[in-house]
Amino acid sequence: MEFGPHLFIASLEGAITAAVLALTAVGLSIVFGIMRVVNVAHGEFFMLGAVLAWWITSLIAGHPALGFGVALVAAPIVVGAIAVLCNRLVLNKINYEPERTIVATIGLLYVIQQTTLMTFGPEARPVEAPFNKRIALPWFEFGESGFALTWPWGLSTTTYKLAVIVAAILILLILWLVLTRTKIGLIMRATQLDSEMAQAHGIAVNKVYAMVFGLGAALAALGAVLVVPIQQAHYLMGGDPLLLSFIVVIIGGLGSVLGTVVAAVLIGMSDGIISVFFTPTLAKILATLLVAFVLIFKPDGLFGRRRE
Amino acid sequence: MSNHKKIPNLNAPDISHSNDNTVEISRRTALKTIGASAGALAGMGAGAGALSGLIGSAHASDEPIRIGFQVHRTGIGAAYGRWYDRTTEAVVKKINSEGGINGRPIEIIAEDDGTDPKRGAEVVEKFATKHNCDVAFGTLFSHVVFGSAPRAGELAIPYFVVSEGHHVASGKLNRYTLQPGITDVKSQVEAMAPFINENLGKKVTMIFPDFAFGHDHRDYFTQAFEAVGGQVLEKIAIPPTETSFSKYFPKIPRETEVIYHVMVGPAVLTFVKELGEFFGPSRPEIFGFIDSLEAVDLASPGLEFLDGTYFWEGNPRYAQEGQSEFDKAYREAVGVDENGASISDAKDVSTYAHMFGCWETLHVVKAGMEASDYSGPADRQKLIEAVEAMTEMPHSLEHPQGAKLFNGKTHQVFGHQYISKMTDGKLVLAHTTSIEDTLYEDEVDYTSMSF
């Protein structure tokens, strides 16, 4: 493939990775930002979202869009509820102490993963996209006859892939509005700034924590439901999103939603482009290397606020 | 010399009764009643005479033959593992109902290796030291074989793999590792290269998984294809754990005439679907190894573009016209319908092109143990020598995929390969290669190595 169309298709693939990654990483980021909890089980909430999407769509007969629509709403809610329960039964009991929460969420990771293996099984299962039409994309060139549009071989995407990008942008916008323009958002931000002071002002911090942990997991699940018609549900699928989310959150600045989104776009796009032109392994190497440099030169991340 | 002659003799009673009893119920009842006498008949054929055969089964206790089954229950090989499991269960049931091996029943000790080389080696160790298994058996994924075989060699436990990888015949493993029930990639691709060159095109782009099995495809197909005058334009390696593939396809050169694909892992359906989305209506010729769609329903949405493309199949998934009685009986025993799916769930598609290897391998183990009058772990070397002495394995209920030729020096079996064309969503057999098409020069002589 020629360089131009090749780069274009790489950017498209990168944009899909970035869109899903942004949703997942923002979930991880608000959990850390507000609760100071490093949630190692975050990838498993992502996986649960995909697996539930498969389960729900397989229960509902009729047009695939019907089942998918239900899954898009129900899966994040169920995963959020599971996360609230985990918060109540585990994190709350250990007082959100940083070291203990890391170990506890590692435990949660295995519990969720193995429970899925025992129930859902080890197979990858497909979810049919609500709509999926191939779109051949045009490319322009200046030939002997001047400017001309061509349709290069293989330069294409699908309507569903474009919809994933649009949906992710919409969800992130809504999230941003909730965080900055609503009372719930205000309470969350207050808790983030100083949880003790917030509690002194009558905010039920424990309830906020439960809600935030649920919201973080629900965002990961939402990302998974969006991507599962492109990928397939599998009990081991949580590993990559977890690694990439951590990379993104560290680069963007722990707890900074804007930083997380910017970093997700940066990592997602570079992952797409480097994978296409070189190898996917090199893309991961470079992303991890970038984390190392950020930690050395700007330990709070690109958008992180320095804390005392 | 007497050893390899025994195999047809052993087979004889089984073939005759499967001929006589084509109806399901009567066949089963016949198996039960014939069971004991079949065991005695086998003994007669196996020994120098009836007497030694009877003595052989007399001193053997009721203690079962313990076969350690290394199974990919989890990890990227899980779909294969599920069907290797069912096939093994079926073949053990068959052999036990016919009187077992040397009068002793088979007991399967199954352990999950997670499709992981490190755990694979641990599993083999457990078979040898903890479970007191007579032999280890059943591994499919080539990196797990690579990880486990050295340990099997150190512990001196015969290790019967069902893997397809060329590693056994390449000489990289050891005297204890044998592959008598499934052919290897090198022989498969050597038989495919002339077909692709004559029927599909001369410029090929290969897409394969980035580990030992995929590298076998890359190296031996390129070699074989260039030998017949073709050219491999590009070789695209994809990590076996990859979940999204569109980004790899732009590397396919425009002048490609044939796409050669072979993929494994949980995401194979995504792989093939995205390949279709990439090409749209203007695809080149496509030749795939059915591995890319093993355990996948060919009626899945997005696979329509495969109509008219060709697949290598180790064993045809769909019951073909003129299906052999052996395939019919084998299918029924394992619980697979004429579309290659589970009888109880039409969506549970089998790994039909590979799993026959479990069925055939355990029959080879049985024949080997009977030929060597195997009575316990002390006879392991005799067992290996008995298998090494085998040559021809006729098309039979023991070898339902087709006739085979075993090479004792390289520990590798050779057999027919099948090429099917996707027609109206089904795979229809288009070409069957001869065994001669799949032969290549020996690269090792394991029999010259010490135990």
Cβ(B98)–Cβ(B43) below 8 Å = no
Would you call A230 and B74 a contact, using CB atoms and an 8 Å cutoff? Answer: no
β-pair type (B426-432, B285-289): unpaired
Q: Tell me whether A121 touches chain B (CB under 8 Å).
A: yes
**Are residue B345 and residue B224 in the same domain, yes or no?**
no
Q: How far is CA A194 from CA A3, A34, A185, A300, in A?
A: 51, 9, 14, 18
CB B159 within 8 A of CB B147: no
| Whether residue B398 is found in the same domain as residue B274 | no
**Which segments of chain A are extended strands (E)?**
134-136, 139-143, 146-150, 156-158
Chain B residues with CB within 8 Å of chain A CB: 73-75, 78-79, 81-82, 239, 242-244, 246-252, 254, 266-267, 269-270, 277-280, 282, 295, 300-302
Within 10 angstroms of residue B25's Cβ, the number of other Cβ atoms is: 8
Facing residue for B280 by CB, picked from A117, A123, A136? A136
- Give me B91's structure tokens: 């073949």
CA atoms of B148 and B125, how far apart (whole Å): 9
Supply the range of the domain harboring residue B48: 2-183+323-416
pLDDT on residue B75: 85
The shortest C-alpha distance from A231 to chain B (Å) reads 6
- Mapped onto helix, strand or coil, the DSSP state of residue B300 is coil
Same domain, B303 and B337: no
Secondary structure letter of residue B212 according to DSSP: H
Domain C-terminal end among B295, B313, B331: B313
Q: What is the mean pLDDT of residues A162-188?
A: 94
Q: Which of B313, B337, B362 is the last residue of a domain?
A: B313
Instruction: Nearest chain B residue to A160 by CA: give it.
Output: B277
In a domain, B372, yes or no: yes
The answer to whether B307 and B343 have CB atoms below 8 angstroms apart is no
What's at A251, amino acid-wise? Answer: I
Number of Cα atoms under 13 Å in the Cβ half of residue B91:
27
Beta carbons of B6 and B331 less than 8 angstroms apart: no
Q: Which of A117, A153, A156 sits opposite B74 (nearest CB)?
A: A117
User: Is B107 a domain residue?
Assistant: yes
My answer on whether B351 and B308 are in the same domain is no
In chain B, what residues touch A230 (CB-CB under 8 Å)? 244, 270
- What single string gives the DSSP state of each residue in A192-239? HH-HHHHHHTT--HHHHHHHHHHHHHHHHHHHHHHHHHHH-B-TTTTH
| CA distance linking residue B343 with residue B337, whole number of Å | 5
Q: Are B27 and B42 contained in the same domain?
A: yes
Minimum-distance CB partner of A232 among B250, B269, B295: B269
Cα–Cα distance measured from residue B230 to residue B287, given in angstroms and rounded to the nearest whole number: 14
End-to-end CA distance of chain A: 52
Q: How many domains does chain B have?
A: 2
**Is residue B437 included in any domain, yes or no?**
no
The residue written with tokens 């060919």 in the block is: B298
Give whole-number Cα distances, A188 to A194, A203, A308, in Å: 10, 9, 20
Asked if B105 and B206 sit in the same domain, the reply is no
Domain contains B423: no
For chain A, which domains are there? 3-128+157-297 (1.10.3470)
Locate all alpha helices (DSSP H) within B48-164, ordered by sequence.
Answer: 50-59, 78-97, 117-125, 142-154
B35 and B175 in a common domain = yes
Low-confidence ranges of chain B (pLDDT < 70): 1-61
Helix, coil or strand: residue A111? helix
**Tens of pLDDT along A85-94?**
999 999 999 9
Higher pLDDT, A278 or A35: A35
Out of B243, B254, B266, the one facing A153 most closely (by C-beta) is B254
**What number of other Cβ atoms are within 10 A of residue B373's Cβ?**
21
> Do B173 and B219 fall into the same domain?
no
Q: Do B269 and A10 touch (CB under 8 A)?
A: no
Q: How far apart are CA B408 and CA B388, in angstroms?
A: 4
Residues B349 and B208 in one domain: no
Closest Cα in chain A to B270: A231
CATH number at residue B346: 3.40.50.2300
Residue B1 neighbours by CB distance under 10 Å: 5
pLDDT of residue B59: 46
Q: Which long-range contacts (CB under 8 A, 24 or more apart) does B385-394 make?
A: B386/B3, B387/B178, B387/B180, B388/B178, B388/B446, B388/B447, B389/B3, B389/B4, B390/B3, B390/B4, B390/B7, B390/B180, B390/B364, B391/B4, B392/B4, B392/B7, B392/B8, B393/B7, B393/B360, B393/B364, B394/B7, B394/B8, B394/B11
Contact B81 A231 (CB under 8 A): no
Residue B451 inside a domain? The answer is no
Q: CB neighbours of B99 closer than 8 A, spacing ≥ 6?
A: B35, B36, B38, B39, B40, B42
Query: Cβ B266–A1 below 8 Å, yes or no?
Result: no
Query: What 3-state class would DSSP assign to B328?
Result: helix
Q: In terms of domains, do B358 and B248 share one?
A: no
Distance CA B344, CA B347 (A): 9
What does B4-48 look like in DSSP terms, one character per residue?
HHHHHHHHHHHHHHHHH--SHHHHHHHHHHHHHHHHHHHHHHHSS
Tell whether B439 is covered by a domain.
Answer: no
Q: Would you say residue B432 lies in a domain? A: no
The CA distances from residue B306 to A132, B340, B354, B427, in Å, are 17, 18, 21, 10
Please judge whether B78 and A123 are an interchain contact, meaning their C-beta atoms are less than 8 angstroms apart: yes
Residue B357 is classified by DSSP as H
Contact pairs from chain A to chain B, CB under 8 Å: 82
Q: Which of residues 257-286 of A touch B (CB under 8 A)?
A: 272, 275-276, 280-281
How confident is the model over A138-151, as pLDDT tens digits?
888 777 777 777 77
For the record, the structure tokens of B279 come out as 């090409």
ipTM of the complex in this document: 0.83
Among residues B294, B313, B332, which one ends one of the domains? B313
Q: What is the DSSP letter of A306?
A: P
Q: Give the pLDDT score at A305.
A: 67
B-chain residues near A236 (CB < 8 A): 75, 266
Contact A234 B252 (CB under 8 A): no
Structure token digits, residue A197: 């002071």
> Are residue B171 and residue B127 in the same domain, yes or no?
yes
Q: Does residue B63 belong to any structural domain of this protein?
A: yes
The answer on B191 and B179 residing in a single domain is: no
Matching residue, tokens 């061509």? A150
* pLDDT for A301: 85
CB–CB contact B75 A122 (8 Å): yes
CB B413 within 8 A of CB B377: no
What pLDDT shows up at residue B51? 43
